Chains A and B, each alone.
Chain A
């Protein structure tokens, strides 16, 4: 059953129980341990850190200010339709 990588989702199967990076719509990036996924890329992650990046233009200096906010969530279900990419752990 444990074949190699024949189709894209096989790569995600090999990432089960590992920390993955998930890029989401709305300038959000998640990092967490992968416990479940399905063909829609619905997922369950644990020990999640979410980073949201926003940009604002300063009233006076007209400079672009990039802000990042971080949130931690112990256990998270992620709906697949918001997922842009899933990156397996570095080896």
Chain B
């Protein structure tokens, strides 16, 4: 019993389907998968990056993209029916980028506050010193 010649055998069946690809940095690409190899390197045609912010989403046109396999988290087949039932609202590319920017700044702010709290804590407990 030997494995099929192609390593990522199961991906070959997905070629030419419209798929969503989740990347390691959290981004989502949607496009037609045109080719794959044993590392799960991928080529998409007519790809868009779909950005989600709260209950809104928008697409940024990307055209043809090559994705290096190690950055792939998962590939999913989109089901048209459940996509229609979704509570999400589609907005323009400019709109979603604006919303993303706002979200990013809010996150940056709360991370900074957290860092400040940790710094304050360390100052208030100077007896805890690293032994090394």
Contact = CB atoms under 8 A, between A and B. Distances in A.
A57 interface: yes
Interface string A46-85: 0000000000010100111000000000000000000000
Contacts of B117: 57, 59, 62
Contacts, number: 11
B114 A57 contact: yes
Contacts of A57: 114, 117-118, 121
Contacts of B124: 62
Interface in A3-21: none
Contacts of B114: 57
B120 interface: yes
11 contacts: A57-B114, A57-B117, A57-B118, A57-B121, A59-B117, A62-B117, A62-B120, A62-B121, A62-B124, A63-B121, A64-B121
Interface of A: 57, 59, 62-64
Given A62-B120, A62-B124, 9 more contacts: A57-B114, A57-B117, A57-B118, A57-B121, A59-B117, A62-B117, A62-B121, A63-B121, A64-B121
